[in-house]
Structure 1
Amino acid sequence: MTGKLNRTCLLAGACIWLSASTFLAAQTQLATETTAAPQIDAPAPVTPAPVTPVPDTSETDSPTMFPHWEHSRFFIGGQANIIFQAHGPFHSPYEGVNSLLSRGEYKTSLLGTLFLGARVITDPKFALDALFDLESAGGRGDSEALGLAGFTNLDVVRNPNLGSTPYMARVQLHQTIGFTSKLVENAQSQFYPGTELPERRLEFHVGKMSLPDFLDINSIGSDSHLQFMNWTVDNNGAWDYAADTRGYTYGIVSEYDDKAWSVRYALALMPTVANGIDLDWALRRASGQNWEFEFRKPLLGRLLPPERKGTIRILSYVNHAHMGLYRDANKAFLAGEGTRPVIQNVEKFSAVKYGFALNFEQELTRDIRMFGRFGWNEGQHESFAYTEVDQTVEFGGDYSGRRWSRPSDKLGLVFVTNAIKKDHQDYLKLGGLGFLLGDGKLNYAREDILESYYNLHTWRGIYYALDLQFIEHPGYNQDRGPVLVESVRMHVDF
């Protein structure tokens, strides 16, 4: 076991050294570029394309297998994502029912989505779109997606027993109300079929959706199909956003966009139980409310040329749901109730959980971008919908392959550290189970994750990626790990 652990650590060290060396080389490029004549890029759309950033096609062929209709009122697209993921044996003196298995394992996940859209009203100033997505999620994650707060594959459904039968992922009406005749270019996507939008506008999305389609978006760290794969890298781990087991909910998102800033509000349904597939339609007792402000200006001011784009987003949320307090569950157990604390025994309707998040991104050069997130929630009420994180800090970046004549390739490196509050720690230490975590006992430490990937564009909409994730203290337990998770991903855009 010791020999295998040493080999794992050596592999992790090699991964860190290779990624860090490449990133340091990129910093040398930054120093060189600041003394050279500035390169002017084409202006970006006011509204960033959610979920799947559009690759740079100025020096390559079509970003999809089949070209989309640019001037049609209809949008048809799709994607397929296959991830093979494995880890070797790692140090673990004990395990619980919700532990990441220490014996070593490998699993494959498969995700396919069909995107359909129709522009009912074609005038960009008052456009009305009807959107529908059909999805299938198959395969499984390592240890059935248990044992890690920052799980390593965002495509994995947290309840594999749901099966791979296709289901309706999204169905929405999208209304745009323009306040100016000035139009700006828009990156056509499954959420915005048109190629132009009013510069100042009000938008509404109503129906079935995933809140990260519209909130906490980051063009460097939001797309698990072309970028990082970890749950707490692509989304803010402390944002316990309203969602069912598959990550979807019913709600309304309203958004006002101006030239340099946007503001958003979302109201959505919460699940009836933690990580549940059924949603509670009684808004008086259960709902998720979210507010976000986005400001699009360079973050480093005069230190960078004015064409280097930057964005900062501030998010807050309040959830009302049938939740329990970790402290109440701990007290009941210590008073002699049961063989371990059980959070479900102390749940109450209309309990309130709230939190805050910050998200930023900044271009440093034509090829180098950096990003980061900070998240916090009150941590007294149970983690209910996304993952078991009460505080998170993240920092990373990516490097374009343009310098070696691969403009659609990307190299990424990120570090994220997650934490939980004292009552949550005590709950796990006493043997309590969350919907993701529970080793039977706990020697607490922050869960630290280093992830690096290389995404290779082969032809049209076909991409392959190699990804490594080195995780220290899996499940916040310093008695277990570290573990190195290796991944191979194939992604196809249709």
Structure 2
Amino acid sequence: MRISLALIAGAVALVPVAGRAGDTAPLLPNWLAVHGQATFVLQGTPGFSSPYAGTNSLTPHQRKETIDATLFVGVRPWKGAEIWINPEMDQGFGLSNTLGVAGFPSAEAYKVGKKHPYFRLQRAFLRQTIDLGGETETTEGEANQFAGTHSANRIVVTAGKFGVGDIFDTNKYAHDPRGDFLNWSLVDAGSFDYAADAWGYSTGIAAEWYQGAWALRAGGFNLSKIPNGETLETGFGQYQIDVEVEHRHQIAGHDGAVRVTLFRNRGNFGRFDDALALASATGTAPDTALVRGRRTRLGASINIEQAVTDSIGVFARAGVANGQIEPYDFTDIDRTASAGIAIDGAGWGRKSDTIGIAAVVNGISRTHERYLDAGGIGVLVGDGRLPHPGAEAIGEVDYVWKPVKPLEVSFDYQIVRNPGYNRDRGPANVFAVRVHTAF
């Protein structure tokens, strides 16, 4: 705890020196940009019904903390090009070592936890923007983005190491666990089994074509070498192809967007039926690792965001993936539906504050349920048995208080019914405090 607080205090101390993005611009040449952030999350759950537990169960009566501090350093080598690197220090653990709930309560908790701070280069990528004409649009200088202008119609190519979620399945109201909702299956579609290492990043290339109100995106990314692994493939031996269509619009003068995302994973995956058959023949617990072969897993999702007034926005997502084959790099969700609302504090004299309210329901296939009931474990869940399966239903309320720039303090509450799809366990109440600063 003392190490974490020291790290975030150091990051806060940097802010007055470097200033905010708008203040630093005159201090740096126009080809260089430097930003930073630090986020601390303390999360805990009191007691809940837990008549039995397995390898991947959520444990009652616990609290955990995580912290990450990141530098975003960018250069402009030529017209339209940006190169960014994101060195990061991480520390801490998610609840139950980030296990026990498919829609895990903190997207700031990685699948690899450590007691002491450690270094990772999370992103290192080149972005090239090619103007195609149309109206001129202005971008603000922020993390991984230079201030400047580009044409509304354009092509953007990104290559290197970055997050699939940097490009695909974005949402104005629910996509940033450092600033809005914390739950994994609210900041991304839970069924979107996106390519990633255990920290959420991959290597690959993506292209975006913006034309009028439409955008088309496509990308290819390396999967991890083993499910939920720390090491990525290097030659697309196991890979993901993503395609997304976006339409931007206005309703009653307020901005909105609809995105449809498709993914295709190709690699060494196990089928739940095959694992169950082998377990029955050998008298052991099923394990998809023993029956993996070259297979394809497909999925699709829809993502909607819509401003209702100047102070209120709503969002919704729904998705489905092949429930006969094991999820690989994200979490144990075969189908999902979520919706929520974000409200700024203008109505109570705190316009810079925001409150978010959302709910998500996650499910798995019947074969997936039988696999867990027989003692199989997944990416995040596995209670050793599942005699009474049910949908995992989660509600989240998040209040972001901004006492002084650039400090944000969030108070978050989640209720998780049927954690790990198990009606015998829970409901679990999860409380969190998040402290975030950025420059």
Classify the TM-score, shorter chain. over 0.9
Say if 1:194 and 1:338 are closer, same or farther in 2 by CA, change over 3 A.
farther
Matched, 1:457 2:402: yes
Contact 1:377 1:390 (8 Å CA) reproduced: yes
Amino acid paired to 2:301: A
Q: Percent identity?
A: 31
Equivalent residue for 2:5?
none
Residues 348-359 of structure 1 aligned to structure 2 (within 5 Å): 348=293, 350-359=294-303
Contact 1:120 1:128 (8 Å CA) reproduced: yes
Contact 1:201 1:257 (8 Å CA) reproduced: yes
Equivalent residue for 2:24?
68
Amino acid paired to 2:165: P
Gaps of 5+ in 1: 1-61
> What is the aligned length?
419
The alpha carbon displacement at 1:164 in A equals 3.1
1-side partners of 2:193 and 2:358: how far apart? 21
1-side partners of 2:228 and 2:395: how far apart? 26
The alpha carbon displacement at 1:73 in A equals 2.0
Contact 1:425 1:444 (8 Å CA) reproduced: yes
Q: Which moved more, 1:180-189 or 1:454-463?
A: 180-189
Match of 1:315 among 248, 255, 261: 261
1-side partners of 2:23 and 2:98: how far apart? 36
Match of 1:368 among 312, 315, 328: 312
Residues 238-277 of structure 1 aligned to structure 2 (within 5 Å): 238-277=191-230
1-side partners of 2:115 and 2:185: how far apart? 23
Match of 2:90 among 137, 142, 151: 137
2-side partners of 1:180 and 1:212: how far apart? 27
Match of 1:326 among 272, 275, 284: 272
The alpha carbon displacement at 1:323 in A equals 0.8
Equivalent residue for 1:186?
139
Equivalent residue for 2:418?
473
The alpha carbon displacement at 1:334 in A equals 1.5
Matched, 1:82 2:40: yes
2-side partners of 1:363 and 1:309: how far apart? 6
Say if 1:89 and 1:66 are closer, same or farther in 2 by CA, change over 3 A.
farther
Equivalent residue for 1:30?
none
1:176-219 Cα shifts (integer Å, max 9, x gaps): 11111642112333332132111111111000011101110001
Matched, 1:387 2:331: yes
Amino acid paired to 2:405: R
Contact 2:91 2:114 (8 Å CA) reproduced: no
1-side partners of 2:135 and 2:415: how far apart? 48
Secondary structure of 2:408's partner? strand
Amino acid paired to 2:88: E
Match of 1:290 among 237, 242, 253: 242
Contact 1:414 1:450 (8 Å CA) reproduced: yes
2-side partners of 1:63 and 1:437: how far apart? 43
1:297-343 Cα shifts (integer Å, max 9, x gaps): 13xx5xxx2x21110000000001111101100111122x2420011
2-side partners of 1:229 and 1:311: how far apart? 22
Secondary structure of 2:105's partner? coil
2-side partners of 1:390 and 1:325: how far apart? 13
Contact 2:190 2:319 (8 Å CA) reproduced: yes
Equivalent residue for 1:113?
70
1:329-361 Cα shifts (integer Å, max 9, x gaps): 0111122x242001100011x311110010001
Amino acid paired to 1:485: V
The alpha carbon displacement at 1:281 in A equals 2.5
2-side partners of 1:232 and 1:217: how far apart? 13
TM-score w.r.t. the length of structure 2 is 0.92
1-side partners of 2:374 and 2:165: how far apart? 34
Contact 1:63 1:460 (8 Å CA) reproduced: no
Contact 2:330 2:379 (8 Å CA) reproduced: no
RMSD over aligned CA atoms reads 1.7
Instruction: Give the strand-richer structure, 1 or 2.
Output: 2
Equivalent residue for 2:289?
344
Secondary structure of 1:67's partner? helix
Secondary structure of 1:458's partner? coil
Equivalent residue for 1:57?
none
1:379-423 Cα shifts (integer Å, max 9, x gaps): 111111001100000010111111222221101000000000111
